[in-house]
Amino acid sequence: MALDARHRTSIYQKLVPILGDDDTNALMTEYPSIEADELVTKQFLRAELALTRGELRGEMADLRDALRGEMADLRAGMASLETRLTLRIGAAMAAQTAVLAALKLLG
């Protein structure tokens, strides 16, 4: 149970004449002043870590799936660009061939 500041001060002042400053400070550190100072058991910590690991695994799986989807979209986009580029290069080569043939006919 956490002690509020008033109780801690009262207990401290009563113990100093009996134990002295150093021993009273050492003793008072064993009693938490607020809820956050309470000790955590190994069992509680293990349970919390297991929950955290489970949550992280789930989030990592979601991210992995999202990344796979993005990569698939990127591959599809790249394939589309490759097809368009191939068609344009073919059209440019055909136009160049036609120009060279026309020049050969003229000259």
- pLDDT of 38 reads 63
DSSP string, 4-36: PHHHHHHHHHHHHHHH-HHHHHHHHTTS-SSGG
Cα separations in angstroms, 24 against 1, 36, 64, 106: 18, 21, 55, 111
- pLDDT of 13 reads 92
pLDDT in tens, the chain (107 residues): 566 778 888 988 999 999 999 998 898 888 777 666 567 889 999 999 999 999 999 999 999 999 999 999 999 999 999 999 999 999 999 999 999 999 998 87
SS3 of 59, please? helix
